[in-house]
Amino acid sequence: MTAIFNPLTIRNTDFEWGKRTYIMGVLNVTPDSFSDGGDFNSLEMALNQAQQMVKAGADIIDIGGQSTRPGAEDVSLEEELNRVIPLINTIRKSTDVVLANIPISVDTTRSQVAEMAVKAGGDIINDISGATFDSKMLSVVAQLNVPIILMHIRGTPKTMQTLTHYQDLMGELKQFLQERIQAAIHQGISQDHIIIDPGIGFAKTVTQNLEILRNLTQLRSLNCPLLVGTSRKSFIGHLLNQPDPKQRVWGTAATCVAAIANSADILRVHDVKEIVEASRVADAIYRETVEKN
């Protein structure tokens, strides 16, 4: 499973695609996210969680100030900035050198948040709309010269679960991502700065999420590193008959191993310690480079 794209250096971290799986820890500073809403609502709790994730082996911290769970309402621009910017500032000023230099991804669909976040010390923009919600997003990210994660979605978090009918799931998903990659390049974003995400759980049924995990390698031809986010999602709850998202960690681990077997580069997860361990073993099985090293 070798990479066909160039490595990416962010702060002190070299992302050498194909050599190992990178772990992105989810840090939602929201009152209403589906599995950890309200858990890290204060700056102190959020900073402590960031420290714990870094200690557990996270390669990236993904900070989100707007819930994207099914049915989620929009928050105001001011509210999103108030949640995200102080936390980035605090992490960057940390006396813990490893934490202070951790690559930070910002989960937003707003170009103003992207701009303010990068100026505060953010490194990557993670846009669940594939940069379709804000027409300025791609040009702003091009000017900021930072990587962007483009995800597949239909509709908005409020409407997406009514938009799950596909004639050809993988074909349509691939076409959407291809168009977003081209749009990003057209706006001046380097191909090496584009990461793609199939959008597990976003306008997808349980069966469709499983189909995507089985067929991830079909997205390899788009020549971008692949991020997969299955963590604690409702399709795992459905399979396990487990209504509590926090009790879905081993179900999540199974999906993460499947994603690694099918060439995922980054896993976006809540339970960093457990998934770091699962991915280390899965890497040893599925990536020959791990054995050579």
Catalytic positions are 233, 268
Locate 102 and state its tokens.
Answer: 């951790």
> What are the respective helix, strand and coil percentages of the chain, to the nearest 5?
45, 15, 40
How far CA 283 is from CA of 13, 177, 198, 208, 258, in Å, comes to 19, 26, 21, 25, 11
Extract the runs of DSSP E, i.e. beta strands, from 174-220: 194-197
Cα angle value 167/171/173 (rounded, 5°)? 95
Q: How far apart are CA 196 and CA 22, in angstroms?
A: 14
Nearest Cα neighbor of 11 from 100, 139, 96 is 100
